[in-house]
Every structure is written in C-alpha cells, then in structure tokens.
C-alpha cells in the first residue's frame, strides 16, 4: 500500500511517532554530552600524537606505572618459595620395612646366588656393579655389623629429615651429599656407601611449597616497592609537538587539567546504544509500574535533570574529586516530583551510563550505589510538612556518605597505598555534596514547579494556607461551605493516610472542592442558615434548582483556572459528586410531575466518576459529613449506619467503579470516618449554668454589691449567646 504525503505527515504528527522522535533525540543529546570529552581530547591529541607543545602550569608529580610494575614483577620473581614440613613418619617406617626384607632374604634356605639376586631387586640403582657390590655386602656381613649399619642409617635419617629435603634437591641429585654430610663420624667408607644406598631408596622430599604463603610474600614484596615518580616542574614541557603521548605523559596531562579520554566512532556508538537501552528500560519501568507518571510533564523534568547531571559530570575537571557529582540532589528532586522508587531507578541507570562513558573507578561506583540507596530512603521518610526538612535530609546524606566513602577507602588501603590527602579531599566533597544538595533542592523547587506546571507536596502544603485568596473568599462569602470544607478535609486526610493514599492531596482537594459555590453561595443550605435567609429553592421548580446545584463543580473549575490552581486539584473539584443523583430535587420532581415524566439521568451530576483514591475518598467524606451534620445529636450507632449507608449507595450506583479502591480500603475508610466524626460530635458540659446557680445561691444568702451583680448578668448573657450559637 502506497501512502500519500498527507498520510505520512499524519503519522508523523501522531503521538507515538512523536514519542519515538523525542526518545531518539534525548538519547542522541545525552550521548553527545557524555562523549563530549572525546572532542576536548581531540583538541590537543590526535591518533596518539601531540598536536602542540604543552607546558606544565604547575609542578606536577606523576608515577611511572610501567617502570614501577616492572620492578614489582622482578621483586616478586626473586622471592624464594616458602616451604613447610610434610608428614615424614612413613619414611622411617619404610627403613624398618627395608631392614626386615633384607633379614628375611638372608635367612632363606636358598643358594647365595639366588639371595644376591633377590637383594639386588630391593634397590633401584642404575649401576650394575654397585648393585652387585651392595647385594654381596649385605649377604656376607655378619648380623652384628648389619645391625650397626641400620642403627647408623636411622640416626642419619633423622638428621636428614630435620634438615629437610626439597623437590629441587631431590630432582637435582643432591641427596647423596645431604646423606653423607649427616652420617655419624668415623664411619668406614664401605658402610658410608651402603648407608647412602639404603637411605636413597626410602627418602622422599619432606618439604613442600606453601603456595598461599608464597603468594602473600610476593604481594608484600611488591607493595613494598616505592613507585617511580617523575616530576615536571612549572614551565617544563610535558609533551612536544609531534611527540607520541605515552601513558606517563597522559597522566601528567591529566594532572595539569587536560582531558585525555579518547573514544573512537565505535566507542561513541557503544555509548549511544547504552543510553538508548537505559532510556527504553526506564520508560518501560514507568509504563508498567508508575503509569501515572508515564504520560505527564514529569518525564520531561527527569530528562532535563539527567542532562544537567551529565553536563556537570563532563565539566568537572579531570583529576578533581568525582564525589562532587550531584546524585543526591537528583534523587531528592525526582523523588519529590514522582516517588522514591522512580528516583532510585533513574539514578542507577544514569550512574551506569556515566561510569562507562567517563571511566569512573569501581570504588566510586560502589560508593554511589550505597549513597543513592541512602538518599532514596532518607527522602522517602519526609512528611513534606516543612521545607527545611530538605536541609536535614541533605545533612543525613552527608553523614552517611562520609561513612560509606571512609569504609571504601579503609578496604582499599589493604591493597594499595592511598594518599591520605586524597581521602580527606573526597570525604569533604561527599559531605558538601549531600549538604548542598538539600539546599539546592530547596531553592530550585519553586522554579521547577512553575516551569513544568507540576505541583509537589510542598506546593500543596502552601495551597492549604487559609490565607490563600480563594479560601479567604470562601470564608467570608460562603462561611457555611468553608466550615463544611474544613470538616471534610479532616475526614479525607485521616482516611487517605489510613489506606496509603496521598493525605496532603486529599486534604487540599477538600479545601477547594466546593469553591464553585462562591458563584451562588445563597443557593446552598449550609450558607442559608448562616445568613438567616429563606431557602430560594422554594420559589424554583426542581429542574431549575437541580441546574443551579449541579453546576458548582464546573463553576469551581472556572474559578480554579482564574486563580491558577494546579491541574491536579481540578479532578477533585469535578469528580467529588461523580455522576451521582441529586436525589432531593429528583424526588421533588417526581412528586410534582409524576415518575413517568422524570428520568434519573436528567437529575445527575455531569461527572466524571472518581478515578483516583483521593477523589473517591472526597466523594464519600463530602456526603457523610453533610448527612451527619443534618442530625442534631447523632449516636455512635447512627453515625455508623449513615456511613455504611452512603458507601453502599455509592457502590450500588456504580460511582466507585472507576477508582482503585478495594473493599478492604472502604472498610478502613468507614472505620476512620466513624472515629473522626465521633470526635466532632462530642457533647459539651454546661459549665456556665452551674456557676450561675452557685452565684444565685450566694446572692440570696449575702449582700452583694453592684459590681458582683454585674458579673452575674455577664454570665447569663454568655449562656444565652452559647445557646444561640449551638
């Protein structure tokens, strides 16, 4: 099928294609940022050759790692293997066995020639003459002399084993000399030959190499080698134009403040693939686990902050501490605008990209994995009641960061010699990083809120201030509605906290949910009683009254836009009645017109139905508070019955079908409402009346002056005022 130009343009304009384009563009930009150091490198070095003379701006000391490593290898090779004694008791047993075999052959009733042949078989001697001599000697010597020879052999064996026989000594044919040096003095030459031959048959190496101890000795010897240092004084040329840049020269350039990372095309392409994969992984995570953030401006905010952290990482001078990278600030801000899980996942992906692209060390990566985890836990504990809590969170991250980096360096010092000044520098950087992150997040939050049009818990807390213009208007122009909203907000906040919803959003939404009543405040019963006017609905037909009453959610949206309330409040204003039935006016219309002439759909709110936990809680709290307030002194059982009745009605009417509340949530909400409403409906003790009776009794029993009588009148007047207010 051939697509026309219009069809192609329509597909390009489609939302999915736009997403793909933005996805690829972001990946390209991030790749260019991360690999941009490659272009800085190309300014001074190309293909490993210096393009110009580079002079040391200060005295620079660098380690010649190649020469140092060569010296370490030489030292390690010169370390002799460490030997440990092996079990040698079996060697002594072998000598006894050899003696027994010789004695048995001597006692056999066979010819001497056969005995000599059997004796020669006991010895593994290549020389036939020596073997014949040894067999002849052992056969002809008397028993007393033979016993003396074996006694001397045993003494010699003990001495030889104490000296130790190594594999090399055994293989190099040095056994004869070792045996003969340990034979007792004044031993005849012919016995020396026999004893040597006897012991050579049974002796095996009794000293073996301890591989672990030898390896440790080599490592210790290598670590003891002092690094070879090369000094470039201020003004010296580090490299000349056209000179090949060795690793030593690169290290010197790095200390001088030059970037020496070099990536070819395939390296940059590899970074692009890594960025592409990481971005896709993050989007899939949001789509599957945090869908409410997937289609919002929050993704754009996270993208901007990711680029900002990457730019900072690239601009940090080579040789400067990488612990200054603002990962804690990144996590704090992302967590405030989304949640802690999203912040941790995004930070770990970004850490992976920067580690590969900028060649960070394993100690840095390990430290920041732990620091990012601590930052996530710390920010998740904030209640968002005070902005100064961000500074406290930053301080906690600083302390944790110092502990983590200290532990990493303590482990590292076991392997290599780390400069103490380097450790102190990195500890100072990570401490300042956490502290500055809290302050930075505190300062930039309002800017990000206004730029991306996203409300945070801190912004919601500001909207809860009763000095806000809309709430001030509500307080003076519709005081009944204002006090109703206060009561509803208490119910919403407690219920939202009980089921794990957002209590701040629920509370603030309750404050503003009825602001549409400001357009016609006297048409709502809670304000009529306050101003003491007649109900205007008595002069209107039910259909007109219904139009006035059900218009207040849309009127509220107009006021919310006029006063620039955040869009998240719109849902609470529009959905707090859902598509519910205005039952009072519906029943009134049925009585006047007949049920066959009235349809329920004509007397319903325009909706939509609640689609969040917070809006569903507001719907229930709004209805429950109004119903309970209509009763003078409701009992606990009556309150409980009203709550259950309203929840059941909303369920049966399908008003809760689009929200994620479970039956368990509804049970918890009902229990919470009951507890809060019982506290609101407590009875008061009439203290003033008792005081008046006591004063009257005193008045009749004693003469009272005018000043005392005036006090009685004031108390009586106070009682009347309290009754009128009740």
Given this model, what pLDDT does residue 703 score? 44
Tracing tokens 């692209």 back to the chain, one arrives at 357
Query: Which pLDDT band, with edges at 50, 70 and 90, does 604 fall under?
Result: very high
Alpha carbons 154 and 606: distance in angstroms, whole number: 112
Given this model, what pLDDT does residue 714 score? 58
- Show me where the domains of the chain are located: 27-77+231-255, 83-209, 264-454, 473-680, 687-725
pLDDT at 342 over 90: yes
pLDDT at 568 over 80: yes
Given this model, what pLDDT does residue 713 score? 56
Alpha carbons 549 and 532: distance in angstroms, whole number: 19
Tracing tokens 């049009």 back to the chain, one arrives at 453
Given this model, what pLDDT does residue 720 score? 53
Lowest mean pLDDT among 155-164, 172-181, 539-548, 627-636: 172-181
pLDDT at 358 over 90: no
Q: Which residues contact 671 (CB under 8 A, 6 or more apart)?
A: 498
Given this model, what pLDDT does residue 675 score? 92
Tracing tokens 């490993």 back to the chain, one arrives at 48
HEC per residue, 388-430: CHHHHHHHHHHHHHHHHHHHHHHHHCCCCCCCHHHHHHHHHHH
Q: What is the tens place of the pLDDT at every residue in 537-554?
A: 888 888 898 898 999 999
Residues 539, 544, 546, CA angle at the centre, nearest 5°?
Answer: 110
Terminal-residue alpha carbon distance, the chain = 78
Average pLDDT, integer, range 212-228:
80
Query: Which pLDDT band, with edges at 50, 70 and 90, does 687 fall under?
Result: very low
Q: What is the pTM of this model?
A: 0.61
HEC per residue, 629-677: HCCCCCCHHHHHHHHHHHHHHHHHCCCCCCCCCCHHHHHHHHHHHHHHH
Instruction: Say what percent of the chain tops pLDDT 90.
Output: 35
For residue 120 the two structure tokens come to: 């020669």
Average per-residue pLDDT for the chain: 82
Instruction: Say what percent of the chain tops pLDDT 70.
Output: 84
pLDDT at 471 over 90: yes
pLDDT at 661 over 80: yes
pLDDT at 159 over 70: yes
Alpha carbons 111 and 109: distance in angstroms, whole number: 7
Instruction: Give the distance, in angstroms, between the CA of residue 259 and the centroid of all CA atoms in the same chain.
Output: 31
- Fold held by 473-680: Hypothetical protein af1432 (1.10.3210)
What is the CB neighbour count within 10 angstroms for residue 523? Answer: 18
For residue 214 the two structure tokens come to: 């030898």
Given this model, what pLDDT does residue 2 score? 55
pLDDT at 180 over 70: yes
Given this model, what pLDDT does residue 725 score? 47
Omega before 530 cis (within 30°)?
Answer: no
Q: How many angstroms separate the Cα of 508 from the Cα of each of 153, 280, 537, 670, 700?
A: 102, 35, 30, 20, 56
Alpha carbons 498 and 671: distance in angstroms, whole number: 10
Which tops the pLDDT comparison, 65 or 371? 371
Alpha carbons 640 and 642: distance in angstroms, whole number: 6
The closest alpha carbon to 666, from 648, 692, 641, belongs to: 648
Alpha carbons 467 and 469: distance in angstroms, whole number: 6
Query: 184 — phi, psi (to 5°)?
Result: -55, 150
Strands 229-232 and 60-63: antiparallel
Alpha carbons 435 and 392: distance in angstroms, whole number: 8
Residues 345, 350, 352, CA angle at the centre, nearest 5°?
Answer: 100
Alpha carbons 253 and 250: distance in angstroms, whole number: 5
Alpha carbons 192 and 142: distance in angstroms, whole number: 17
Alpha carbons 689 and 277: distance in angstroms, whole number: 77
Query: 215 — phi, psi (to 5°)?
Result: -65, -40
3-state helix, strand, coil in the chain (%, to 5): 70, 5, 25
pLDDT at 719 over 60: no
Q: CA dihedral defined by 556, 557, 561, 565, rounded to 10 degrees?
A: 80
């Amino acid at each position: 099928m051939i697509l026309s130009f219009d069809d192609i343009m329509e597909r390009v304009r489609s939302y999915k294609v736009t997403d793909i384009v933005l996805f690829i563009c972001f990946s390209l930009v991030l790749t260019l940022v991360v690999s941009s150091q490659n272009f800085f490198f190309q300014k001074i070095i190309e293909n490993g050759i210096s393009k110009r003379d580079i002079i040391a701006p200060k005295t620079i000391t660098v380690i010649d790692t190649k020469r140092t490593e060569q010296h370490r290898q030489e030292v390690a090779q010169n370390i002799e293997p460490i030997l440990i004694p092996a079990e040698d008791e079996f060697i002594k047993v072998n000598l006894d066995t050899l003696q027994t075999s010789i004695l048995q052959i001597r006692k056999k009733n066979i010819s001497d020639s056969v005995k000599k042949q059997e004796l020669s078989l006991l010895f593994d001697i290549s020389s036939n003459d020596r073997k014949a001599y040894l067999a002849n000697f052992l056969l002809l010597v008397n028993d007393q002399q033979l016993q003396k020879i074996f006694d001397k052999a045993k003494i010699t064996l003990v001495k030889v084993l104490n000296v130790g026989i190594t594999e090399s000594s055994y293989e190099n044919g040095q056994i004869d000399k070792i045996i003969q040096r340990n034979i007792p003095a004044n031993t005849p030459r012919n016995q020396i030959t026999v004893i040597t031959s006897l012991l050579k048959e049974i002796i095996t190496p009794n000293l073996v190499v301890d591989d672990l101890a030898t390896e440790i000795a080599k490592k210790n010897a290598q670590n003891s080698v002092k690094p070879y240092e090369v000094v470039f004084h201020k003004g010296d040329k580090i490299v000349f134009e056209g000179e090949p840049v060795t690793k030593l020269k690169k290290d010197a350039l790095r200390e001088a403040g030059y970037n020496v990372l070099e990536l070819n095309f395939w390296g940059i392409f590899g970074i692009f693939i890594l960025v592409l994969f990481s971005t896709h992984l993050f989007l899939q995570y949001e789509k599957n686990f945090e869908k409410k953030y997937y289609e919002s401006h929050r993704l754009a905010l996270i993208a901007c902050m990711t680029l900002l952290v990457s730019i900072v990482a690239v601009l940090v001078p080579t040789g400067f501490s990488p612990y200054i990278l603002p990962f804690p600030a990144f996590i704090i801000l992302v967590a405030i605008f989304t949640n802690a899980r999203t912040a941790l996942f995004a930070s770990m992906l970004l850490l992976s990209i920067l580690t590969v692209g900028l060649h960070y060390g394993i100690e840095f990566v390990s430290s920041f994995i732990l620091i990012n985890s601590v930052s996530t836990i710390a920010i998740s504990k904030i209640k968002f009641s005070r902005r100064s809590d961000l500074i406290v969170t930053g301080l906690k991250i600083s302390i944790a960061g110092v502990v983590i980096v200290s532990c990493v360096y303590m482990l590292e010092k076991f392997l290599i010699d780390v400069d103490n000044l380097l450790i102190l520098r990195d500890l100072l950087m990570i401490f300042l990083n956490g502290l500055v992150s809290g302050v930075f997040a505190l300062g930039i939050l309002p800017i990000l809120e206004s730029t991306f049009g996203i409300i945070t818990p801190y912004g919601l807390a500001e909207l809860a201030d009763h000095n806000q213009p809309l709430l001030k208007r509500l307080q003076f122009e519709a005081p009944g509605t204002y006090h109703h909203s206060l009561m509803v907000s208490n119910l919403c906040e407690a219920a939202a906290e009980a089921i794990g919803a957002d209590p701040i959003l629920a509370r603030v939404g309750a404050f503003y949910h009825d602001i549409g009543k400001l357009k016609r405040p006297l048409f709502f019963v809670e304000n009529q009683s306050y101003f003491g006017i007649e109900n205007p609905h008595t002069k209107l037909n039910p259909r007109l009254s219904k139009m006035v009453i059900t218009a207040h959610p849309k009127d509220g949206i107009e006021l919310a836009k006029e006063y620039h309330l955040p869009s998240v409040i719109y849902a609470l204003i529009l959905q707090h009645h859902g598509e519910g039935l205005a039952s009072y006016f519906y029943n009134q219309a049925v009585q006047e017109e007949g049920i066959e002439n009235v349809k329920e759909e004509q007397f319903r709110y325009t909706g939509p139905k609640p689609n969040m936990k917070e809006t569903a809680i507001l719907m229930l709290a709004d209805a429950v508070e109004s119903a309970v307030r209509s009763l003078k002194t409701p009992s606990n059982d009556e309150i409980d019955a009203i709550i259950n009745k309203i929840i059941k009605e909303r369920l049966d009417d399908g008003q809760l079908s689009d929200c994620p509340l479970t039956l368990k949530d509804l049970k918890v909400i009902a229990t919470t409402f009951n507890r809060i409403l019982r506290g609101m409906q407590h009875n008061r003790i009439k203290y003033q009346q008792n005081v008046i009776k006591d004063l009257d009794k005193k008045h009749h029993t004693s003469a009272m002056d005018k000043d005392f009588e005036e006090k009685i009148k004031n108390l009586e007047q106070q009682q009347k005022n309290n009754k009128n207010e009740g």
